[in-house]
Amino acid sequence: MAELIVALDVSSTAEVVRAVDRLGDTVSFYKIGLELFSAEGPDVVRAVKGRGKKVFLDLKLHDIPRTVERAVKAGAALGVDLMTLHAAGGKAMVFAAKDAALACGAGAPKLLAVTMLTSLDASDLADLGVTRNMTAQVEALGRLACMNGADGIVCSPKEVARMRTVLGPGALLVTPGVRPAGAAVGDQKRVATPAQAVWDGSTHLVVGRPILEAADPCAAARAIAEEMTLASAVTP
Ligand code: C5P
């Protein structure tokens, strides 16, 4: 059963606490990103974990293996459930991160690789000296990460079906860019409905504004969760 993760794209712990308390039992998993973590530090993670929720800490780690290993251990000590790292950090970095997670035992964070940022295009690839096209590069980085210990990847709804085939049935596929039918798309360019993302093989859907900016955030989250449950029960 795919899980809904609400992106806490707010700027203070006070706003986080308001949002999490307002959503109550409807949502059990939250994403904390670089901006919020840089502003508020580990206390914001503690605030969410302290409310009995799961945390996806999206810091996109990319550094030498020892530094990433220690960052994963720090995340594990906070009780973080999911963490991101750049596949471009290479085999040794991903392997060191996995080693650190394994050393933390059963509750250790699962590791998600970021392949190519969706803000990059073909001309950026050329600037970076990458001669493969974007699709091949995403597949190669996803494979590299998962063969060296990553539990899955972050990918757009348009990549999910293909990456499920490439990475096999066990990989976590975490998908932002999800919009309920009829919802404002905003700055997201490659969107899918919650049902389509589930059908294509997403294990976790990350949704921010369609929930946090809704007139009734609880109702918006419940509607998405129900659509996910229904989609899991039927085939398109
Ligand atoms: O508000 P919205 O539902 O668009 O939020 C999606 C979340 O997923 C945001 O936190 C955004 O930074 C993140 N994200 C994304 N696209 C990516 C990677 C992450 O929208 N390629």
The catalytically annotated residue of 60, 73, 91, 158 is 60
Is residue 195 a contact partner of residue 232, using CB atoms and an 8 Å limit?
no
Q: Residue 196 is part of a domain; what is its CATH number?
A: 3.20.20.70
Ranges under pLDDT 50 in the chain = none
Looking from the CA of residue 7, the nearest atom of ligand 1 is 10
If you write DSSP's letter for every residue of 48-104 in order, what string do you get? HHTTT-EEEEEEEE-S-HHHHHHHHHHHHHTT-SEEEEEGGG-HHHHHHHHHHHHHT
Token pair for residue 2?
A: 């795919």
Q: Does residue 9 have its Cβ closer than 6 Å to ligand 1?
A: yes
Token pair 């970095």 is found at 93
Q: How far apart are CA 171 and CA 152, in angstroms?
A: 5
Q: Does residue 116 have its Cβ closer than 6 Å to ligand 1?
A: no
pTM: 0.96
Token pair for residue 188?
A: 């997201």
| Strands 152-154 and 29-33, bridge-based pairing | unpaired
Encode pLDDT of 190-228 as tens digits.
789 999 999 999 999 999 999 999 999 999 999 999 999
Count of domains forming the chain: 1
Helix/strand number for the chain, H first, E second: 11, 8
| Structural domain boundaries, residue 120 | 3-233
- CA 103 to centroid of ligand 1, rounded, Å: 30
189 catalytic? Reply is no
